[in-house]
Structure 1
Amino acid sequence: MTRTDERPGTDAASPLQELRTELGNYVGAQAQRIVGSAVGKLTNLADPTDAGKGAGKGAGKGAGGVLAIGKRVLGGGSPVKALLSHGLTGAKDKVVSGAKEALGGGGGKAGDTKTTNIVEVIDIGLPLRSVYDQWTQFEDFSSFTKGVRSVNMSDEIESDWKLKVGPSNRSWKATVQEQVPDERIVWTSEGAKGTTHGAVSFHELTPDLTRVVVVVEYYASGFFEKTGNIWRAQGRRLRLDLKHFQRYVTLADEDAEGWRGEIRDGEVVRTHEEAVEDEEGEGEGEGEAEAEADEAEDAAEEEDEDDEEEE
């Protein structure tokens, strides 16, 4: 016996209509399965702690999405576009947020901060004092480095730095903790996206050759800063800026008038004026000592000559 599907008040459905109905039912069932699986996996990826929580609530959301997808498909829309527009938008946002948090840009805990240690060495063919004096001119750093936009000195100890990090601008407040003329400078700096603790030392290899050693501990907390840590971008940037400094100080028309003061434990213990006065006094003392030595040598020679004449 042949079964005939009859509907009250309408004629029997055509084969094409039956095919469209069955196709719609199939697409709806497949969409429900795919969207439910995809949303569940992506949600767990973005926030693993939600796995196993609120299963009924998630199922309700998935069912609502399937109804919207079914309407679009039955209305002649593309099943793929329907899936993307209704099933994956929220999940995509969760995954992006999870990726940022993994790299430190999504409000991670303070204890998750990692330290980057950087050590760079460069030799410069100039006397030690010329190299040191130029380094103390912090406001000139924007003239030869790529990342430094500007430096404003608040006093001999504190300064405000504006830097370019990726597509963003960053502000740092630096504090000199120790500074000994012609020997070393130790500093710390703090910013919204990280902190540093560094030291630069100056070593005379020959009267016309100076070695500069820079050691930095860098604690990144911004998204771009932590992303740069993965590729050691900060170390490469410091290495390049040291080469820029080498070029800048070597090609300078004249030596810079550096800051000759001394800082200990974040406090000035000898001002620039006092240091210059002491150096001038030492220079005069050395000149007098040399003059006395010359006079003594001349006197000894005269005595030798007198002895020879007596003989």
Structure 2
Amino acid sequence: MAKTAEQTGRDETSGLDRLREEVVDFLGAQVERLADAAGDKMEGLTDQLQDVAENGGVLPKVGARVLKGDNPLKALIGEKAKSIKDSATEKVSNLFGGGKGKKSGSAKSMNIIEHLDVGVPVRVAYDHWTRFEAFSSFTKGVRSVSQGGEGDSDWKVKVGPSTRSWKATVQEQIPDERIAWTSEGAKGSTRGCVSFHEVTPTLTHIVLVVEYYPSGFFEKTGNIWRAQGRRLRLDAKHFQRYVTLSDETPDGWRGEIRDGEVVRTHEEAVEEEEAEESEYEDEEGAEDEAPEEESGEDEEEAPEDEYAEGEDEYEDEDEDEDQ
């Protein structure tokens, strides 16, 4: 039975639809395959870059061989094979107790030293520094600080485009003199000390010393441009500005810490300071009263001496008249 023109048209349309779907599926599969391949290449490139950043990698050595005239592919295969051999040798050596080479994962520290002069007494500058939770209100790098125990605090700090977290522990704290601490975080660790020095009764010199040990690809890469150091220096300037211009009297932490242990609490320190101030005021009052009593005795005795001298002169005149 012959097909009508309408049936033939429907069959052609159905065939075109199936062909279109197959073409779309084929193109989708090809795009997905290309995307996977590109992703694998990017992942491999990232691994190589991280290898270069952390361990030196083979790319610099390959580049050196290419500059000397070696074939690029041959240089890459040779250096990669050498890298695998060295890695296997190191693992075997470590397995049998060897491996005295460079410590794996070791990172160079970045040293930051900053000097600040603030136009306030030493106690005011020190008390401002101990108020860690207020740092986020006047600095740009500190996002938040939450105080734990006496000497422990959790910090969230902006480093470059990211926010990092550290847990800080005060190792030594002497009121109005110095604070030394250590901190640990997923992306780095620090050791630091800040000391306070009286220049005049209304001028304090502050010395800030920090060692920063970055960890991770981005942290080590950021260390090349000294991003962390610039951030810390800028925040130190913000502290200098805030403390010098502030008209408030801060209520700082006056306790004392030695070797990471609290040897004198804030309350004990405040009680001792109040007792010393009270004793000093009593001594000052006693010294002020003593000269007034002595001067009063002199004023009372003076008229008696003058009167006595007058009587002697009067008696001498009477004796002359009698003679």
TM exceeds 0.5? yes
Asked if the contact 1:201/1:214 (under 8 Å) is kept, the reply is yes
TM-score with structure 2 setting the length: 0.63
Within the candidate set 88, 96, 100, 2:50 is matched to 100
Q: 1:216 to 1:308 in 2, by over 3 A?
A: farther
Q: 1:92 to 1:264 in 2, by over 3 A?
A: same
Asked if the contact 2:160/2:228 (under 8 Å) is kept, the reply is no
Bigger Rg over Cα: 2
1: CA distance, partners of 2:107 / 2:138: 31
Q: How does 1:65-214 map to 2 (within 5 A)?
A: 93-104=43-54, 110-214=104-208
**Residue of structure 1 equivalent to 2:88:** none
Q: Which runs of 4+ in 1 moved over 3 A?
A: 87-96, 104-111, 299-311
CA RMSD, 1 decimal: 3.0
How far the C-alpha of 1:91 sits from its partner, in A, is: 6.3
1: CA distance, partners of 2:291 / 2:253: 38
Gaps spanning 5+ residues in structure 1: where?
1-83
What do the CA deviations read for 1:262-288 (whole angstroms, capped 9, x no partner)? 111111111111111111111001101
The one-letter amino acid of 2:196's match is F
How far the C-alpha of 1:222 sits from its partner, in A, is: 2.2
Q: 1:293 to 1:88 in 2, by over 3 A?
A: same
The one-letter amino acid of 2:162's match is S
Aligned residues: 228
Helix, strand or coil: the match of 1:112? coil
Q: 1:222 to 1:286 in 2, by over 3 A?
A: same
Matched, 1:239 2:189: no
How far the C-alpha of 1:251 sits from its partner, in A, is: 3.0
How far the C-alpha of 1:307 sits from its partner, in A, is: 7.1
Question: Going by fraction, where is helix more abundant, 1 or 2?
Answer: 2
Asked if the contact 1:161/1:171 (under 8 Å) is kept, the reply is yes
What do the CA deviations read for 1:183-214 (whole angstroms, capped 9, x no partner)? 11110000011111101111111111111111
How far the C-alpha of 1:136 sits from its partner, in A, is: 0.6
Q: 1:299 to 1:174 in 2, by over 3 A?
A: same
Asked if the contact 1:179/1:186 (under 8 Å) is kept, the reply is yes
**Residue of structure 2 equivalent to 1:252:** 246
**Residue of structure 2 equivalent to 1:42:** none
* Identity, % of aligned positions: 63
Asked if the contact 1:139/1:153 (under 8 Å) is kept, the reply is yes
TM-score with structure 1 setting the length: 0.66
